[in-house]
């Protein structure tokens, strides 16, 4: 039985992270048969509640090594001292972590966008990958986005060195593949897609939160506090979304379901879609049968089921849009980074269905929705053709990992 460790994972509070882990487990089992997969967790009992039968898929939740010291080191690297950024994470490996890493056949470095630069340094995930490499374990970057890092050019040599030590980089958009190949000059990379295109749907009772008015014509809408960070100085995103909703109800005759995709599993309101979108619901008391919000607590598969029942979808969270697109739902991606652009370019060959965060307004949202309405039939037809191809790309990437492990085994015999 093969054993794997997933670095880059912390919590299922982000349903996108949960979607990646669930789908990766499915692909590992399909490729290798029965497997054991170590999944790091901030709070194990909460993640287990999201996936009660995880053990059936070979999942073993383990405590994450993301200490105060690693967070502090991340802050140290923000100092304008270039040579600091060339150092590896200077802390010892805990005994339990070492035992876990020594027991596995390979490490998959996941997380989707952990190796992109959005004002942060990938300190802890690099440390985990480095620990595994020092133990002689093959490390694979699994279905991730990479870059760009031009806002912090001093990081580029460090990352080039780090990526060159990996067995293989499987990159989930062609834009990341081009960046890694041309800008970072890394040869051991392939293009794949996001594993969440394989995510299953779990049926739930929609009646508790589904709009009662015009229930077969629902616009699913996901906006998140994260996009506020990328808004322009004069943007009032909540106000623009509220005005957009009123327009949709009046002019397009659609009802709206607000769908959260990142909701911390504790009681925190930090980076909480549901808390953020509750402000929208509270501002529209006169539309309570036409504008509703999904209940909290659903897991990734259950949330995807709700998204799949929408006629259209507009989303800020990447994996909320992947849940919609992979369900054949015409979708607008609200983008703050290259992820949405790369995804749309690979599927449609253009970015007509991408709305930049700093351009979000009532007018731009109305215009974007109208594109979906006008082109609904063509989009659905194209997605029917494209989704199997994207799924095949991740299967092929997993086969490449199997080939690498088989070659290593042959060399050791």
The whole-number pLDDT of residue 113 equals 78
The distance from CA 260 to its chain's CA centroid, rounded to whole angstroms, is 14
The whole-number pLDDT of residue 121 equals 67
Count of CB atoms situated within 10 Å of the CB of 395: 15
pLDDT band, very low/low/confident/very high, at 120 (cuts 50, 70, 90):
low
The whole-number pLDDT of residue 37 equals 98
Find out whether 209 and 33 touch, Cβ atoms under 8 Å. no
The whole-number pLDDT of residue 412 equals 66
Higher-pLDDT residue of 86, 144: 144
Question: Does 142 have pLDDT greater than 90?
Answer: yes
Tens of pLDDT, residues 383-392:
999 999 999 9
The domain ranges of the chain are: 2-198+389-412, 218-374
Which CATH topology does 2-198+389-412 take? Rossmann fold (3.40.50)
Phi, psi (rounded to 5 degrees) for 7: -85, 155
The whole-number pLDDT of residue 257 equals 98
Tens of pLDDT, residues 294-307:
999 999 999 999 99
Residue with tokens 């339990």: 96
Question: Does 330 have pLDDT greater than 70?
Answer: yes
Same fold, 2-198+389-412 and 218-374: yes
Tens of pLDDT, residues 205-257:
999 999 999 999 999 999 999 888 877 777 789 999 999 999 999 999 999 99
Model pTM above 0.75: yes
pLDDT band, very low/low/confident/very high, at 268 (cuts 50, 70, 90):
confident
Find out whether 237 and 227 touch, Cβ atoms under 8 Å. yes
Q: Which two tokens stand for residue 153?
A: 């050019």
The whole-number pLDDT of residue 94 equals 81
Q: CA 126, CA 225: separation in Å to the nearest integer?
A: 27
Domain 218-374 carries which CATH code?
3.40.50.2000
pLDDT band, very low/low/confident/very high, at 147 (cuts 50, 70, 90):
confident
Could you tell me which of 339, 337, 336, 369 has the C-alpha nearest to residue 352? 369
Tens of pLDDT, residues 38-70:
999 999 999 999 999 999 999 999 998 866 666
Could you tell me which of 144, 112, 139 has the C-alpha nearest to residue 128? 139
């Amino acid at each position: 039985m093969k054993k794997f460790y997933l670095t880059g994972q912390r919590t299922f509070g982000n349903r996108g992270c949960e979607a990646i882990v669930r789908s990766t487990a499915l692909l590992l089992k399909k490729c290798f048969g029965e497997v054991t997969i170590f999944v790091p967790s901030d709070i194990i009992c909460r993640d287990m509640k999201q996936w009660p039968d995880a053990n059936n898929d070979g999942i073993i939740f383990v405590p994450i090594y993301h200490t105060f010291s690693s967070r502090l080191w991340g802050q140290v690297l923000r100092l304008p001292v270039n040579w600091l950024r060339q150092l590896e994470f200077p802390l010892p490996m805990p005994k339990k972590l070492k035992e876990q890493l020594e027991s596995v056949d390979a490490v998959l470095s996941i997380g989707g966008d952990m190796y992109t630069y959005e004002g942060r340094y990938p300190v802890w995930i690099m440390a985990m990958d480095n620990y595994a490499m020092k133990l002689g374990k093959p490390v694979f970057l699994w279905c991730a986005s990479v870059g760009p890092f031009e806002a912090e050019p001093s990081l580029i040599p460090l990352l080039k060195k780090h990526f060159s030590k990996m067995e293989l980089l499987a990159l989930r958009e062609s834009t990341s593949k081009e960046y890694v190949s041309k800008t970072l000059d890394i040869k051991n990379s392939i293009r794949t897609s996001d594993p969440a295109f394989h995510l299953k749907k779990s049926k739930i009772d929609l009646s508790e939160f589904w709009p009662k008015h015009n229930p077969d014509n629902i616009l699913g809408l996901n906006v998140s506090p994260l996009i506020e960070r990328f808004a322009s100085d004069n943007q009032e995103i909540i106000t623009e979304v509220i005005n957009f909703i009123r327009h949709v109800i009046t002019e397009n005759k659609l009802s709206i379901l607000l769908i959260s995709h990142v909701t911390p599993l504790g009681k925190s309101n930090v980076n909480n879609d549901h808390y953020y979108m509750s402000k929208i619901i509270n501002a529209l008391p006169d539309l309570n049968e036409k504008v509703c919000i999904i209940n909290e607590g659903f897991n990734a598969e259950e949330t995807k089921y709700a998204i799949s029942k929408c006629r259209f979808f507009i989303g800020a969270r990447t994996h909320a849009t992947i849940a919609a697109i992979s369900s054949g739902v015409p979708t607008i991606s609200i983008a703050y980074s290259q992820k949405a652009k790369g995804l749309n370019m690979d599927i449609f060959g253009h970015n007509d269905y991408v709305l930049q965060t700093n351009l979000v307004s009532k007018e731009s949202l109305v215009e974007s929705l109208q594109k979906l309405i006008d082109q609904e039939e063509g989009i659905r037809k194209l997605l029917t053709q494209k989704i199997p191809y994207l799924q095949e790309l991740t299967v092929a990437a997993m086969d490449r990992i199997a080939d690498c492990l088989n070659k290593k085994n042959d060399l050791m015999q």
